[in-house]
Amino acid sequence: MILSGKKILLGITAGIAAYKTTYLVRLFIKAGAEVKVIMTPEAKQFVTPLSLSTLSKNEVISSFTEEENELWNNHVELGLWADYMLIAPATANTLSKMASGHSDNFLLATYLSAKCPVYFAPAMDLDMYKHPSTKSSIKKLESFGNTVIPVGSGELASGLHGEGRMAEPEEIVTFIENHLQQNAPLFNKKVLITAGPTYEAIDPVRFIGNHSSGKMGFALAEEAANQGAEVILISGPTSLGISNKAVKLIRVNSAEEMFTEADQYFSSIDVLIAAAAVSDYKPKKVADQKMKKSDATLTLALEKTTDILKTLGAKKTNQFLVGFALETENELEHAKGKLEKKNLDFIVLNSLNDKGAGFKTDTNKVKLISKNTIKDIPLQSKKEVAVEIINEIVARVL
């Protein structure tokens, strides 16, 4: 689950275990990751670029230029693209070059340019693996912050039996997932997020609603999952979807449906982020049939909906509560009032007076307000704002 939506750069070197990398690519894709492959030129003797490009749906790169058209392959760009880099198999030759900073092929140049966490899965014969120079290379790479995926023991290509086998593809994926989860800030935390508008029916055709797109709430769900949380996302009507397997998406229409779902999970969660734009009122009576146009005016009797956040705030025990406030005037005063009335830990203030903030946009500009602090988050993408909000929660919860 934690690999869903992640960008993985797989480096393949010239070892017999390279044949396993086709299975490795498939497992990463199945886990929801995007995969790009770099091979050393010699690795092509063990597995074909065609197989790997077909499975990854990305061109396989093995040199700085493409032979046919002399186009430059940018190793720095690839190193910045990746969320994680994995070198598998990592031969004794490649481990030595990585440890010494040697750069005589595209894979090594990309490794030296990578800004992301790097994993490597050694693969070699028993005596090579036990040699002091190999042990020294591995130890040095670990001191750089790289993570070794332990070798397996069994029959080796030479016919010997012992340590040196590359871990099986399933073991590699499981190792990386477990390593990421255990180091993720929100590992073992359950986060409930509400998102989008609610629609309050007038008749079978018409409803009272608002302009919320759900983009902010969905971005928060994605980022909370990226930081290791198990996420329950309750969304009102929106065209958005989410592919991260760590996010359970529940779709609702009305405020009452959203409250029922949120209330059901509230006692079991660690964090609630109420990002939905919930209707404050609903029609007192919903017509069974479509209302016909007759008089020049129409009067609807409305009644209040359940205030989801206030109701859950009154039940709060150990949960960390985050609310949202969208205001057009006296923004700070109104947001601070909601912070206190709804028993929140902090509130995210949107102002419709700020260009690029609020409904339907891909950007947002907010203030994070608690009892004693106000933190300004400048205009940026909603994904970037989501990172800021989740990081603030992590800083306060952990």
Q: Is residue 245 a part of any domain in this protein? A: yes
pLDDT of residue 163: 78
Question: Is 183 one of the annotated active-site residues of the chain?
Answer: no
pLDDT of residue 1: 66
The Cα 98–Cα 84 span in angstroms is 16
Same domain, 85 and 208: no
Q: Is residue 1 a part of any domain in this protein? A: no
Q: Give the CA count within 13 Å in the CB-facing half-sphere of 295.
A: 4
What's the pTM value of the predicted model, to 2 decimals? 0.75
The Cα 23–Cα 28 span in angstroms is 9
Q: Are 334 and 299 in contact (CB under 8 A)?
A: no
Same domain, 178 and 196: no
Final residue in a domain of this structure, among 148, 168, 183 = 183
Q: Burial code of 25-63, b = ≥16 C-beta within 10 A, e = fewer? A: bebbbebbbbbbbbbbeebbebbebeebbebbeeebbbe
Same domain, 176 and 199: no
Q: Is residue 21 a part of any domain in this protein? A: yes
Q: Is residue 389 a part of any domain in this protein? A: yes
pLDDT of residue 66: 66
- pLDDT tens-place string over residues 208-227: 999 999 999 999 999 999 89
3-state secondary structure of 321: strand
Q: Is residue 115 a part of any domain in this protein? A: yes
The token pair that represents 125 in the structure block: 């014969």
Same domain, 179 and 118: yes
Final residue in a domain of this structure, among 158, 183, 208 = 183
Same domain, 152 and 200: no
Q: Are 96 and 128 in contact (CB under 8 A)?
A: no
- pLDDT tens-place string over residues 57-96: 999 998 876 655 556 667 778 888 999 999 999 999 999 9
pLDDT-above-70 percentage for the chain: 96
Number of structural domains found in the chain: 2
Q: Is residue 65 a part of any domain in this protein? A: yes
Same domain, 311 and 371: yes
User: Alpha-carbon Rg of the chain, whole angstroms?
Assistant: 27
Active-site hit among 73, 74, 210, 343: 210
The Cα 362–Cα 214 span in angstroms is 10
The CATH number of the domain where 149 resides is what?
3.40.50.1950
The CATH number of the domain where 264 resides is what?
3.40.50.10300
Measure CA of the first residue to CA of the last residue in the chain; give whole Å: 22
Residue 294 DSSP label: -
Same domain, 219 and 122: no
Q: Are 331 and 337 in contact (CB under 8 A)?
A: no
Same domain, 167 and 204: no
Q: Is residue 321 a part of any domain in this protein? A: yes
Residue 150 DSSP label: P
User: In 3D, which of 379, 387, 276 has the Cα closest to residue 325?
Assistant: 276
Backbone angles phi, psi at 62, to 5 degrees: -135, -5
Q: Is residue 212 a part of any domain in this protein? A: yes
- 261 is in which domain, residue-wise? 190-397
The Cα 111–Cα 75 span in angstroms is 8
Same domain, 140 and 214: no
Same domain, 137 and 116: yes
Same domain, 22 and 52: yes
The C-alpha angle with vertex 213 and arms to 302 and 331, in degrees rounded to 5, equals 70
pLDDT of residue 70: 57
Regions of the chain with pLDDT less than 70: 1, 65-73, 156, 158-160
Same domain, 117 and 252: no
Final residue in a domain of this structure, among 130, 150, 183 = 183
